[in-house]
């Protein structure tokens, strides 16, 4: 399960030329790992991201993704968190 901007995740997957289905994560559904499928908890960015250029307008969304992932682990729903590079 990814926690992040669903639109950005889909756009970056498209750049790789690989098909990716990114349905909204539903906690009531038991998601089984399937190649090409990545459930997403959508946390929309405030501004269009530019790789290598942190934007303070996206800080709240960045912090929210970390908070949500941490809370899901602390609740026992998820077992761990792996982050992509995080703007600092």
Distance of alpha carbon 46 from alpha carbon 31, whole angstroms: 28
pLDDT digit string, tens, across residues 23-38:
999 988 887 888 999 9
Q: Residue 15: what are its φ and ψ, rounded to 5°?
A: -60, -30
Class of residue 80 by CB neighbours under 10 A (exposed 0-12, middle 13-18, buried 19+): exposed
CB 77 within 8 A of CB 25: no
Full-model pTM = 0.88
pLDDT tens sequence across 37-50: 999 999 999 999 99
């Amino acid at each position: 399960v990814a926690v992040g901007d669903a639109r950005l995740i889909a756009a970056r997957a498209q750049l790789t030329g690989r098909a990716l289905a990114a349905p909204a994560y539903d906690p009531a559904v038991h998601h089984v790992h399937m190649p090409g499928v990545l459930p997403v908890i959508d946390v929309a960015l405030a501004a269009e991201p530019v790789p290598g250029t942190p934007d303070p307008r996206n800080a709240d969304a960045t912090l929210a993704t970390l908070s949500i992932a941490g809370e899901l682990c602390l609740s026992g729903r998820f077992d761990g968190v792996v982050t992509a590079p995080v703007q600092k």
